[in-house]
Amino acid sequence: MLSALTIDLEDYYNASVFDSIYQRHHWPNLESRVEASTETVLELLAHHHIKATFFVLGWVAERHQNLVKAVCKAGHEIGSHGFHHELTYSMTRDHYRQDVRRSKQLLEDLTGSEVVGYRAPSYTITTQSLWALDILVEESYQYDSSIFPIHHDRYGIPGAERFPYVRSTAAGKILEFPPSTVRLLRRNLPVAGGAYLRILPYAYIRWGLRQITTIERKPAIVYFHPWELDGDQPRVTMGLFSRFRHYTNLTKMRSKLEHLFADFEFGPVRAVAQSLRLSGAAQFDYGR
């Protein structure tokens, strides 16, 4: 079973946990570490012969154009992570449209290929912001990976589908690739990305992904960020819980990913879409 490996390409300070600490006009003055941490990721993926999807933040792409080109040249799929890392439900529809249009255009200009995939900052397509899917279709995106079927303080639609599916919107169809969860005690529990992947024991991650790929026979959708492999990033004062969520196990992430890469088969979202051939998604160009 081919699962999707996805990386949200952003600098450590772009993460939503810093929204109350830094404003966007502070970003240019902070020490950027995204090139080194992404190069670590690229080396790791090359070593394991894995291609992935990188959802690139437009703001980062504008400042690190050669980095985006290098990711693309290494054979990975480029998707959009929006432009300014704003939470979907905090934007007006017009503002959102400008954000996803600008990032898509920039990434296409840099790579010379069409960008069809999108992931909202912090998974913030929720019941309050489902209108975003209509706009994504209108702006020629073909798939989304933003609806997390769990309870969380910032995101999630707990009853949403757990596996890739075709979603109808007023503007047309879009493929949805939800980040992976496991069913335990009649709840969906996250298993495959970000802080969960970094903090929870590998035995749990492996059990969860085996449930999904072997028992349920579905692809897993795994995600992480380059900054999660950067144990030397500057430590910023913040609340205890946020600190725990952002900084725990940064130095152990690499070996956890290596276990994951040895135990499961991964590819970019586009390849998983192709392997599934979801019916009804006729507009998806499986060929590229």
- Closer residue to Zn ion (CB): 121 or 179: 121
Segment interacting with Zn ion (CB under 5 A) among 44-52, 58-66, 114-122, 236-244: 114-122
Size of the site for Zn ion (CB under 5 A): 3
- Closer residue to Zn ion (CB): 8 or 176: 8
Among 4, 5, 6, 8, binds Zn ion (CB under 5 A): 8
| Cα–Cα nearest to 78, from 26, 49, 38, 32 | 38
Other CB atoms within 10 A of residue 173 CB: 18
Segment interacting with Zn ion (CB under 5 A) among 59-67, 115-123, 128-136, 174-182: 115-123
- Closer residue to Zn ion (CB): 86 or 176: 86
Among 79, 82, 117, 121, binds Zn ion (CB under 5 A): 121
Does the footprint of Zn ion cover residue 86 (CB under 5 A)? Answer: no
Distance linking the first and last C-alpha atoms of the chain: 20
Instruction: Name the minimum Å distance from CB 267 to Zn ion.
Output: 21
- Closer residue to Zn ion (CB): 80 or 180: 80
Distance (Å, rounded) from C-alpha 288 to C-alpha 274?
A: 9
Residue 208 near residue 200 (C-beta atoms within 8 A): no
Segment interacting with Zn ion (CB under 5 A) among 116-124, 130-138, 212-220, 236-244: 116-124
Pairing of strands 221-224, 165-169: unpaired
Give me the residues that bind Zn ion (CB under 5 A), please. 8, 10, 121
